[in-house]
Structure 1
Amino acid sequence: MPVTPRIVVLAGGVGGSRFVLGVREALRRRGIADTAEALTVVVNTGDDLWLSGVRLQPDVDSIMYALAGVNDTERGWGRQGDTERVNAELQEWDAGWPWFTLGDLDLGTHLARTGWLRDGLTPTEVLERMSRRWPLGARLLPMTDAEVDTIVVLEDGSRLHFQEWWTRHRATLTPSRFDNPGIDSASPAPGVADAIAAADVVLVAPSNPVVSIGPILAVAGIRNVLRATAAPIVGVSPIIGGRVVRGMADVCLAAIGVETTADAVAAHYGARAHGGLLDAWLIAEEDAALAAGVDGFGIRSIVTPLWMTDVDRSAALAESALAAAGV
């Protein structure tokens, strides 16, 4: 019987979705049939929002749809083969955001979630119920049950929701900072701290360090349990060859004074030995020259292919991350 490791992944967005798929596939290739027993994903909920009376959880849904095999891989969000009749009707009523498309199947998810929340279920309980629909092969946990949205504060002091800045303006408005109202009083969702404490390895997905991984780490208590866990913490760089793989993470990094390089992001996370997060950091072959600098931070660098262009490469990357942890 293959040994079943206990893996926790911190993730959000498309990069997180692809990486989680790779971890699940790597476990399957090891002969582990019940990957849900091995794999727990702590998902960013910092970009959640209320829109047209329903609660949206973009990162949660992206990862859930990807694991279910129903995600739209071309657009990078939403459901495969979705239609937009209800969205068009909302626009006729001048409701919602005309630049934020909600597919009909996707709206079904949001309506179900909202109904359960209004019935008194917590976000953790709602996600557990939603996860029963498909054989996801992973346990999904929100980072917190508190409502913690992301607000972008622009240089002129004006404020807008992250989704408006990201989707409508495509990150072209220069941010001065990102706020998460309520995060100071938020606590980890049930099961998050226990999963990290009991893990054999914690993996930091190649998600946006500022608005995907950042909110997870900002939830009170999560950094402490990460520092205390006996599990190695291995991160995967979201930067390849000095460029972001997808999205506008470079704009987010610039807003907090971090260069768009693999070593700068490693320094931003910091070495666990010096009060930071990471024990090891996977960087791309294109960034091999930066390995010595990463090592100098007290973080062990591993040079390996990072492109997740198909399931085989995603699984190979996940296997490299597990190997870096000795799992």
Structure 2
Amino acid sequence: MRYTVIGGGVGCARFVKGLREHVRRTGAEDRIDVIVNTADDWWVSGLRISPDHDSLLYALAGVNDDGRGWGRADETERVSSELAAWGAAPDWFTLGDLDLGTHIARTTWLREGATPSEVFRRLGSRWDLGVTLHPATDAEIDTHVQTADGGSMHFQEWWVRHRAQVAAVSFAQRAIADARPSPGAAETIAAADAILLAPSNPVVSVGPVLAVPGMREALLAADAPIVGVSGIISGAVVRGMADACLAAIGVATSAEAVALHYGARSRGGLLDGWLVDESDASAVEPLDAAGIRARAVPLWLRDPGTSAQLAADTLALAADLRGEVRDGR
């Protein structure tokens, strides 16, 4: 079986680790591909930084700082401090010394002419990840935030420096009209037996992936069922500041509202299935009525066991949906 996951950031990394754990426990030879958001990438001190990719890379390699949720474990920050002292880097965006090694390697290869897809492959080859990472697109589509005061700033400044406290009215990816799905993304969507939306930020992690021209069309044409996992539990975000992003686009912070934001594939939207937490079981019936098959299961990822179980629950819903397609229902 082939499973394709779409997302980015810590939520996606934890979900993918659970999926990998489930596959290993079952002894299957299933393949996992992840289409990674690249719209929060940006240039700092002449280096190309890819936060969502690196969160996945480090987590899957087992070298991430699990306490902070980002960056490398046992990190030092001497170079970052020196860059800030020279005024060559913002003092609110800290890069660890080990992390800088990744960014320097990435930038070197990009300047030599490698595509982001090739860079993903080279970085991923260092460790036995058990997963293949693909950029959503090989184009640069950095997200910029339009603020309520009429200003505009890169997403990272809004997210890291201002902690999403500056009122936002919209999010836009620069030059996205000319972007196309990366070859790896397009191939894995077409070949997938199940397509899974990770519990990532629906606005700035999943949203930009879907906004790549041709991506949504590829997903809608896929034979595989599309099942999403809510990153909202009991009306609150599990991690991060997705509530500020949702408020900016007029979507309530609830598992039901996010599913309806994606919409039912049978009605021109995206989802065939959606998992909510047991505490949000009241959303199941209205979502079913809206054409999205919903189930309430435990969503908290507390350890490898609970993470693997969530993966199993997600794949079980996908299998049921796949069976219905075969039966013509």
Please report how far the alpha carbon of residue 184 of structure 1 lies from its aligned counterpart in structure 2 after TM superposition. 1.2
> Which residue in 2 is equivalent to 1:314?
307
* Alignment pair present for 1:8 and 2:4: yes
Q: What residue in structure 2 maps to residue 158 of structure 1? A: 151
1:293 counterpart letter in structure 2: P
**Superposed displacement of residue 130, structure 1:** 0.8
- Gapped runs of 5+ residues in structure 1? none
Which digits, 9 at most, give the CA deviation of each residue in 1:112-161, with x for residues without a partner? Answer: 00000000000000110111100000110000000010101001110011
Q: Residue 96 in 1 paired to residue 92 in 2? A: no
Q: 1-side partners of 2:267 and 2:277: how far apart?
A: 24
Partner residue of 1:200? Answer: 193
Match of 1:326, SS state, is: helix
- Structure 2 counterpart of 1:23, one-letter code: L
Counterparts of residues 100-111 of structure 1 (less than 5 Å): 100-111=93-104
Aligned to 2:282: 289
Q: Aligned residue for 2:16?
A: 20
Distance in 1 of aligned mates of 2:224 and 2:204 = 24
Counterparts of 2:12 and 2:211, CA distance in 1: 18
- CA distance in 2 between counterparts of 1:130 and 1:13 reads 17
**In the alignment, which of 158, 169, 178 is matched to residue 171 of structure 2?**
178
Match of 1:210 among 192, 203, 228: 203
- The equivalences for 1:246-261 within 5 A come to 246-261=239-254
Partners of 1:110 and 1:319 lie apart in 2 by: 35
Deviations, residues 284-319 of structure 1 (Å, cap 9, x unaligned)? 001011111111210000110000121111111011
Distance 1:275 1:181 in 2: 26
Distance 1:114 1:209 in 2: 28
Alpha-carbon distance in 2 for matches of 1:80, 1:224: 39
- Structure 2 gap segments, 5+ residues each: 321-329
Which amino acid in structure 1 is aligned with residue 80 of structure 2?
N
Question: Residue 27 of structure 2 aligns with which residue?
Answer: 31
Over aligned residue pairs, what C-alpha RMSD do you find? 0.8
Read off the aligned partner of 2:212 and give its amino acid letter.
Answer: V
Q: Secondary structure at the match of 1:91?
A: helix
* TM-score where L is the length of structure 2: 0.96
Please name the residue that 1:323 is paired with.
316
Match of residue 220 from structure 2: 227
Aligned residue for 1:257, secondary structure, equals coil
Q: For residues 7 and 168 of structure 2, what CA distance do their matches in structure 1 show? A: 23
Which one of 97, 104, 129 corresponds to residue 122 of structure 2?
Answer: 129
2:134 aligns to what?
141
1:15 Cα offset (Å): 0.3
Aligned residues: 320
Residue 116 (str. 1) matches residue 109 (str. 2)? yes
Q: Percent identity at matched positions?
A: 59
Cα displacement (A) at 1:106: 0.2
CA distance in 1, matches of 2:295, 2:63: 33
Question: Shift in Å at residue 88 of structure 1?
Answer: 1.0
C-alpha separation between the residues in 2 aligned to 1:103 and 1:226? 37
Deviation, 1:174, is 0.5
Please point out which of 36, 43, 47 is paired with 1:50. Answer: 43
* Equivalent position of 2:325 in the other structure: none
| C-alpha contact 2:256 2:283 (8 A) present in aligned 1 | yes
Aligned twin of 1:240: 233
2-side partners of 1:236 and 1:23: how far apart?
Answer: 12
Q: Which amino acid aligns with 1:28?
A: R
Report the TM-score when normalising by structure 1: 0.97
Q: What is the rounded CA distance, in whole Å, between the counterparts of 1:248 and 1:13 in structure 2?
A: 12
